[in-house]
């Protein structure tokens, strides 16, 4: 009896493939009775009877016959029709044509042709996606379902069909090459969910076929393992995926005695290392990736070493990046130590450090909170220069090297950091002009130097940043300056520098720069001049720091908000909590009368935007409330009635924060500001003053947030007798403020020393992405 496939079997692309039908999402489900169940964690079919010891039949290294060789040749007309339909991307129609054919061995070759065509088309689409991603200004807003969603599912369904056909005819069963085609498609797909799990399930499906048929064509190919592990490192990118990759490599090693072609090599190990580096496990990715590398190093230095597993430069670089991007303790120190070992091992093995090696370690120091990190970055820069000057290497500092060292200096708290930054920047400029290191003027480096000025207290920071800005504009496009151009990050950084002058003229200059930027984008449409919400936030902050004419900030916020709500905006991002917090601060820092009330009005507007669903990112946070309380605490009141009004605003703000955890929780600064409000705006003879100060202090103590600043503000808000009663034995100064924090209950202070979490908007700005894309494309055009 011949088996005939229904259209539903092949075209219902939303159904689970038989190859991975054991999986529902991430969970393993029970297999049919009598069927081996896949356990990805164990990499062995639960009821598998496949021998793995000496009794196993070894498979020769030179494998395997293709499926088409084993099948009948299809008729010329049928094959021509299939090829034509596949060439037109009509894969579904090609399958429909085959469904009308009588069941026979020739169908195998036809299905194999469709599989190969699907794979080829998927490769073309993925390559186009990579080119689009690298191109400037091409942003993909389409969902996965809108981007050719059915090719990989059709491929899986073809495997299902062949498995079903094979129940009555072994020659129709899919072989390792057929499975490999599908695994490669799944493993390299940009949008397929749980790709690594599906690939792993397909490998196990092949082993089950081998258990049943004992034919070489069902032994998985090494490529199938590689593509599955690549899916872990390049597609799924999670801790579970990394563990899966490492287990698969271990499984390959255990199988390699009987199946030599499955011996893991350096490319496999590098992908496992990369899987850990891209796992998102910031507190373990460095350690786990380095442990794999250490096994490779141990193999390289052993007498019976496997030459295929000796680490190369790429192996080290992946681990260095995992350490630099992670948050493990002393990860930057470990990265530098690994770089030093790399230099030593490179005398024997092919693992010489390259620019990526040095720049990755530099980036680890630049991102570090380690004291003296900037000096370590400078030391590595000097080491690179000495090695190059001595002729020991062709690797020399490049633009990225200087950018990263400047980044480290920008974060440094050393008083001399800005002078060191200027010295290094001058060194970079000299190298650009001399051509000695083949460096060119680069937007990243100029922007990085401006950022150093923005974070410094240099008296001429604004002036020197403006000079750099004008230099970039004047030379843009000239020979040697092709990669040096002003962009949104340049303007944003310059505005931040200017705003530190805290003057009306500086705020006007910031507004002028914003108008210039908007005009450039309107005239050219150049993605480098596409405004983002961070830029508008910086201008609002500049106005706030001037403490004058806050209405200018309100006008900008109103314009941006209105444009976004009406869908007229062309900028990246949308109005967020940081944007509105900047407006609250602009009112709070101003000298206008009634600024506390204005601040509260902004907060209520944020709540309205959020709760109505108009603007989710406008949801207030703890900083929003603290900024209003700060405005209340420092607003000068003319008369007690005005003080009472300010106090009502403070109480309303404090109650709103306390009543809803959705907007965050009070922190130490919250209680400090409330106690200042009590001391400033409540009359000393007001009987409610002491009770409110006490209630605030005790609530702060209940949260474990009592610190020296809280105690000092409590002392200012209550009588001396009341202060002693609250502090108990911790107060010993009589009428003077003297106290011993160690004598307070430990639960009062247990959270006071922890680092306060900074408020952050829900924006995900990639500050350098536009610049990076433009530079990358410019370099490709020059090559």
Query: What SS3 string covers 597-648?
Result: HHHHHHHHHHHHHHHCCCCHHHCCCHHHHHHHHHHHHHCCCCCHHHHHHHHH
Q: What CA–CA distance (Å, rounded) separates 719 from 678? A: 13
pLDDT in tens, 447-497: 999 999 999 999 999 999 999 999 999 999 999 999 999 999 999 999 999
Confidence class for position 72, pLDDT limits 50, 70, 90: very low
- Number of C-beta neighbours around residue 162 at 10 A: 23
Average pLDDT, the chain: 85
C-beta of residue 596 within 8 angstroms of C-beta of residue 630: no
User: What does the pLDDT average to over 533-539?
Assistant: 96
Q: What CA–CA distance (Å, rounded) separates 318 from 338? A: 12
User: Torsion-angle region of residue 458: left (phi > 0), alpha (psi -120 to 50) or beta?
Assistant: beta
Q: What CA–CA distance (Å, rounded) separates 352 from 709? A: 53
Structure tokens at 590: 């101003």
pLDDT in tens, 26-40: 333 323 333 333 233
pLDDT in tens, 307-328: 789 999 999 999 999 999 999 9
How confident is the model at residue 104, as a pLDDT?
65
Exposure of 215 by Cβ count < 10 A (0-12 exposed, 13-18 middle, 19+ buried)? middle
Q: What CA–CA distance (Å, rounded) separates 321 from 270? A: 13
How confident is the model at residue 570, as a pLDDT?
72
User: Torsion-angle region of residue 684: left (phi > 0), alpha (psi -120 to 50) or beta?
Assistant: alpha
Q: What CA–CA distance (Å, rounded) separates 539 from 561? A: 15
User: What does the pLDDT average to over 498-525?
Assistant: 95
Of 456, 527, 469, give the one whose Cα is nearest residue 770. Answer: 527
C-beta of residue 543 within 8 angstroms of C-beta of residue 553: yes
What share of the chain has pLDDT > 90, as a percent? 66
Higher pLDDT, 628 or 191: 628
What are the residue boundaries of the structural domains of the chain, listed by start? 1-135+146-256, 440-568
Helices (H) and strands (E) counted in the chain, each on its own, are 34, 2
pLDDT in tens, 714-757: 999 999 999 999 999 999 877 889 999 999 999 999 998 754 44
Confidence class for position 619, pLDDT limits 50, 70, 90: very high
Confidence class for position 235, pLDDT limits 50, 70, 90: confident
Report, in angstroms and rounded to the nearest whole number, the Rg of the chain calculated over CA atoms: 33
Higher pLDDT, 635 or 43: 635
Higher pLDDT, 157 or 671: 671
Residue 23 β-bridge partners:
28
Q: What CA–CA distance (Å, rounded) separates 779 from 440? A: 11
Higher pLDDT, 7 or 97: 97
Of 729, 731, 667, give the one whose Cα is nearest residue 704. Answer: 667
C-beta of residue 118 within 8 angstroms of C-beta of residue 151: yes
Whether 8 has a pLDDT exceeding 50, the answer reads no
Higher pLDDT, 129 or 294: 294
Pick from 6-15, 65-74, 271-280 the range whose average pLDDT is largest: 271-280
Confidence class for position 24, pLDDT limits 50, 70, 90: very low
Residue 384 β-bridge partners:
none
C-beta of residue 446 within 8 angstroms of C-beta of residue 406: no
Q: What CA–CA distance (Å, rounded) separates 332 from 286? A: 10
How confident is the model at residue 77, as a pLDDT?
81
Structure tokens at 723: 């202060």
How confident is the model at residue 697, as a pLDDT?
97
Q: What CA–CA distance (Å, rounded) separates 458 from 421? A: 12
Whether 545 has a pLDDT exceeding 60, the answer reads yes
Q: What CA–CA distance (Å, rounded) separates 491 from 753? A: 37
Instruction: Give how far the C-alpha of residue 507 lies from the chain's centroid of Cα atoms, to the nearest Å.
Output: 33
DSSP-assigned letter for residue 75: P
The structure tokens 């040749």 sit at: 73
Q: What CA–CA distance (Å, rounded) separates 342 from 334? A: 12
The DSSP line for 272-295 is: HHHHHHTS--TTTHHHHHHHHHHH
Structure tokens at 194: 């749980």
């Amino acid at each position: 009896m011949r088996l005939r496939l229904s259209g539903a079997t092949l075209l219902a692309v939303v159904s689970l493939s038989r190859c991975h039908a054991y999986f529902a999402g991430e969970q393993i489900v029970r297999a049919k009775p009598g069927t081996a169940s896949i356990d990805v964690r164990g990499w062995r079919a639960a009821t598998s009877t496949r021998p793995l010891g000496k009794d196993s039949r070894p498979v020769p290294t030179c494998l395997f016959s293709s499926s088409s060789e084993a099948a009948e040749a299809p008729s010329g007309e049928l094959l021509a029709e299939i090829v034509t339909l596949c060439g037109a991307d009509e894969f579904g129609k090609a399958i429909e044509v085959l469904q009308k054919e009588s069941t026979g061995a020739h169908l195998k070759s036809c299905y194999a042709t469709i599989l190969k065509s699907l794979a080829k088309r998927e490769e073309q689409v993925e390559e186009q996606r990579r080119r689009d991603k690298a191109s400037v200004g091409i942003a993909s807003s389409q969902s996965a379902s809108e981007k050719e969603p059915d090719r990989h599912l059709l491929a899986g369904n073809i495997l299902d069909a062949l498995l079903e056909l094979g129940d009555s005819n072994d020659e129709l069963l899919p072989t390792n090459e057929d499975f490999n085609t599908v695994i490669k498609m799944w493993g390299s797909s940009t949008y397929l969910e749980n790709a690594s799990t599906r690939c792993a399930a397909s490998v196990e499906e092949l082993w089950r076929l081998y258990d049943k048929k004992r034919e070489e064509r069902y032994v998985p190919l090494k490529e199938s393992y590689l593509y599955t592990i690549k899916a872990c490192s390049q597609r799924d990118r999670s801790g579970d995926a990394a563990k899966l990759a490492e287990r698969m490599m271990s499984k390959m090693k255990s199988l390699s005695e009987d199946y030599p072609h499955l011996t893991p090599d350096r490319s496999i190990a590098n992908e496992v290392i990369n899987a850990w580096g891209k796992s998102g496990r910031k507190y373990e990715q460095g350690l786990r990736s380095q442990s794999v590398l250490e096994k490779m190093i141990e193999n390289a230095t052993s007498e019976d070493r496997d030459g295929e597993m000796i680490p190369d430069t790429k192996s080290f670089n992946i681990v260095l990046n995992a350490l630099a991007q992670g948050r493990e303790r002393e990860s930057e120190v470990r990265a530098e130590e690994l770089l030093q070992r790399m230099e030593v091992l490179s005398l024997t093995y092919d693992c010489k450090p390259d620019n990526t090696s040095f720049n990755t370690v530099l980036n680890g120091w630049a991102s570090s909170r380690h004291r003296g990190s900037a000096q370590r970055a400078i030391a590595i820069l000097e080491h690179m220069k000495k090695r190059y000057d001595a002729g020991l290497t062709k690797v020399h500092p490049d633009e990225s090297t200087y950018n990263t060292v400047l980044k480290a200096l920008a974060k440094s708290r050393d008083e001399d950091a800005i002078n060191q930054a200027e010295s290094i920047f001058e060194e970079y400029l000299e190298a650009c002009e001399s051509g000695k290191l083949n460096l060119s003027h680069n937007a990243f480096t100029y922007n990085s130097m401006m950022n150093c000025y923005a974070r410094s207290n240099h008296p001429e920071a604004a002036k020197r940043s403006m000079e750099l800005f004008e230099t970039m504009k004047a030379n843009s496009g000239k020979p040697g300056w092709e990669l040096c151009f002003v962009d949104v990050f340049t303007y944003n950084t310059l505005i931040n520098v200017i705003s530190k002058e805290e003057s009306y003229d500086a705020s006007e200059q910031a507004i002028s720069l914003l108008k210039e930027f908007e005009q450039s984008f309107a005239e050219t449409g150049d993605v480098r001049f596409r405004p983002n919400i961070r830029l508008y936030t910086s201008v609002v902050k500049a106005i706030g720091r001037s403490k004058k004419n806050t209405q200018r900030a309100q006008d900008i916020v109103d314009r941006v908000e209105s444009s976004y709500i009406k869908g007229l905006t062309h900028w990246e991002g949308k109005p967020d909590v940081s944007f509105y917090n900047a407006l609250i601060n602009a009112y709070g820092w101003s000298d206008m009368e009634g600024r506390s009330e204005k601040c509260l009005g902004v907060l209520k507007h944020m709540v309205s935007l959020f709760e109505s669903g108009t603007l989710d990112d406008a949801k207030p946070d703890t900083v929003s409330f603290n900024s209003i309380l700060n405005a209340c605490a420092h607003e000068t009141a003319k008369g007690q009635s005005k003080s009472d009004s300010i106090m009502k605003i403070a109480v309303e703000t404090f109650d709103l924060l306390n009543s809803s955890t959705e907007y965050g929780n009070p922190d130490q600064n919250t209680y400090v500001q409330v106690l200042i409000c009590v001391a400033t705006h409540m009359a000393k003879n007001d009987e409610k003053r002491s009770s409110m100060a006490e209630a605030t202090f005790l609530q702060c103590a209940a949260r474990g947030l009592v610190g020296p600043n809280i105690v000092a503000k409590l002392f200012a808000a209550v009588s001396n007798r009341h202060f002693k009663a609250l502090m108990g034995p911790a107060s010993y100064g009589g009428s003077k403020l003297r106290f011993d924090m160690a004598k307070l209950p430990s639960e009062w202070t247990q959270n006071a020393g922890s680092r306060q979490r900074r408020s952050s908007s829900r924006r995900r700005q990639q500050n350098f992405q536009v610049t990076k894309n433009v530079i990358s494309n410019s370099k490709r055009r020059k090559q």
